[in-house]
């Protein structure tokens, strides 16, 4: 079987131990004789897994006691609406740093319109759209009259990342879909952290939300039952049948992360992987990085062909694929290349891509 190196930006590379445990659980979950995909979410064995998953989140991110963690279906895109439904009363501010940040803002603006609020009730406090989202805005002031300020910490399409927890005078909300668990986070600085699991903490099919107790219950408008965070907090993520299979794999992934040393250890590994690849991009005459150097993502490394070699883009993609590099084509909206090197992507994959880039350079 030919060696494949997975750099796709969607479903993440999963730890081998998580895959092996899941294969076993597909045959027999916790000695029940029932596959994990068929287990009752009301069984004591499943409740133990849910409790273990929740405990791992709390331990790995050092989540304070005044926060709740819920696991939901629908992905981060549905969370865009959850956030607005649960927190938006009069005014909401967003940091627009890419497509997903813009889509999150769109949901708040649509909700504002439906409620008859002013057109600017939900708006971008700052944006990097002027340069195709290649940087993170710096010189902006967060208004103190906002219900919340929303950021997207990592931008998968454009390869930028907010790597430090910002200070915020209002409730801070963060979409951490693609860099959660990749570094330590001071959770106490946030009112709400959410995201889809499929980048660093599991497969597609489940999303997470970490919610400070005091941010809820302040909205006067009706919140549909399924879109009310309180519904899921009170029922411990089992108001309806949870995405059992995805949560099981998430649990195994977090056990792997804890086993290798937690978020402090994985941060060092991620920084080392990213540095190796960015150094090659900067050295290699054929390639140019697209994100501002100070804002380069450790999760999604985006680059293009140097202008004088632009005509070789398709050739490099074919060459890379023939050498086992899968998923390095850039997002369809920006083109170029993108190597997604999430937590479980091994350094060997990055080294293989670097060698591929070097060999292709030598062939020109």
Non-local CB neighbours of 291 within 8 Å, separated by 6+ positions? 134, 135, 158, 159, 160, 297, 302
- Residue 160: Cβ-neighbour burial (10 angstroms; 0-12, 13-18, 19+): buried
What is the residue-wise DSSP string for 207-225?
A: EEEEEEGGGSS---S---G
* pLDDT tens per residue, range 256-302: 999 999 999 999 999 999 999 999 999 999 999 999 999 999 999 99
Three-class SS state of 102: helix
Residue 332 pLDDT exceeds 90:
no
C-alpha distances out from residue 199 to 14, 205, 266, 287, 342, Å: 9, 12, 14, 25, 7
- Residue 26: Cβ-neighbour burial (10 angstroms; 0-12, 13-18, 19+): middle
Measured distance CA(126)–CA(96) in Å, rounded? 6
The residue among 333 and 343 whose pLDDT is bigger is 343
Q: How many helices (H) and strands (E) does the chain have?
A: 9, 14
Tell me the whole-structure pTM to 2 decimals.
Answer: 0.97
Measured distance CA(340)–CA(342) in Å, rounded? 6
* pLDDT tens per residue, range 27-63: 999 999 999 999 999 999 999 999 999 999 999 999 9
Q: Domains, the chain, ranges and CATH? A: 16-259 (3.40.640.10), 262-363 (3.90.1150.10)
Q: Are 318 and 172 a contacting pair, CB within 8 Å?
A: no
- Per-residue pLDDT averaged across 149-169, rounded? 97
* pLDDT tens per residue, range 241-257: 999 999 999 999 999 99
3-state secondary structure 125-179: EEECHHHCCCCCCCCCCCCCCCCEEEEECEECCCCEECCCCCCCCCCEEEECCCC
* pLDDT tens per residue, range 74-123: 899 999 999 999 999 999 999 999 999 999 999 999 999 999 999 899 99
What pLDDT score does 336 carry? 95
Measured distance CA(108)–CA(191) in Å, rounded? 17
Reported confidence tier of residue 12, pLDDT bands at 50, 70, 90: confident
Residue 222 pLDDT exceeds 70:
yes
- Residue 3: Cβ-neighbour burial (10 angstroms; 0-12, 13-18, 19+): exposed
Three-class SS state of 330: coil
Per the structure block, which two tokens stand in for 302? 């985006």
Residue 1 pLDDT exceeds 70:
no
Q: Which residues pair with 148 in a beta bridge?
A: 92
Q: Are 185 and 262 a contacting pair, CB within 8 Å?
A: no
User: Closest by alpha carbon to 76, among 159, 172, 173?
Assistant: 173
What pLDDT score does 333 carry? 80
Reported residue count of the chain is 364
What pLDDT score does 3 carry? 86
Q: What percent of the chain has pLDDT over 70?
A: 100
- Active-site annotation, residues: 100, 175, 199
What pLDDT score does 78 carry? 97
Q: What is the mean pLDDT of the chain?
A: 97
Per the structure block, which two tokens stand in for 158? 């454009």
Q: Distance from CA of residue 146 to its chain's centroid? A: 25
Per the structure block, which two tokens stand in for 6? 């997975």
């Amino acid at each position: 079987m030919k060696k494949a190196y997975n750099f796709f930006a969607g479903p993440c590379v999963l730890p081998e131990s998580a895959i092996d445990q899941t294969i076993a659980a597909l045959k027999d979950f916790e000695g029940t004789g029932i596959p994990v995909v068929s287990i009752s979410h009301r069984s004591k064995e499943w409740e133990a897994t849910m409790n273990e998953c929740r405990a791992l989140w709390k331990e790995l991110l050092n989540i304070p006691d005044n926060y709740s963690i819920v696991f939901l279906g629908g992905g981060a895109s549905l969370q865009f609406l959850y956030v607005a439904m649960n927190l938006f009363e009069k005014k909401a501010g967003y940091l627009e740093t890419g497509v997903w940040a813009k889509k999150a803002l769109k949901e708040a603006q649509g909700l504002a319109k439906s409620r008859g609020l002013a057109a600017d009730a939900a708006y971008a406090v700052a944006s990097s759209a002027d340069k195709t989202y290649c940087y993170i805005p710096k010189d902006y002031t967060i208004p103190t009259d906002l219900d919340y300020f929303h950021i997207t910490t990592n931008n998968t399409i454009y390869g930028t990342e907010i790597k430090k927890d910002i200070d915020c005078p209002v409730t801070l909300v963060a979409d951490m879909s693609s860099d959660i668990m990749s570094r330590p986070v001071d959770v106490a600085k946030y009112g709400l952290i959410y995201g889809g699991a499929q980048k660093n903490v599991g497969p597609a099919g489940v999303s997470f939300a970490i919610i400070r107790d005091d941010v809820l219950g302040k909205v006067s408008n009706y919140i549909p039952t399924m879109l009310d965070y309180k519904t899921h907090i009170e029922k411990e993520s089992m108001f309806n049948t949870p995405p059992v299979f995805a949560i099981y794999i998430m649990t195994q992934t977090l056990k792997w992360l804890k086993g290798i040393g937690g978020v402090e250890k994985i941060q060092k590994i991620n920084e080392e992987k990213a540095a190796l690849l960015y150094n090659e991009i900067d050295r290699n005459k054929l390639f140019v990085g697209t994100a501002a150097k100070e804002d380069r993502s450790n999760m999604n490394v985006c680059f293009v062909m140097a202008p004088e070699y632009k005509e070789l883009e398709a050739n490099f993609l074919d060459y890379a694929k023939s050498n086992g590099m899968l998923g390095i084509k850039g997002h369809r909206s920006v083109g170029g290349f993108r190597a997604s090197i999430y937590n479980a992507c091994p350094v060997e994959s990055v080294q293989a891509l670097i060698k591929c880039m070097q060999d292709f350079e030598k062939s020109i």
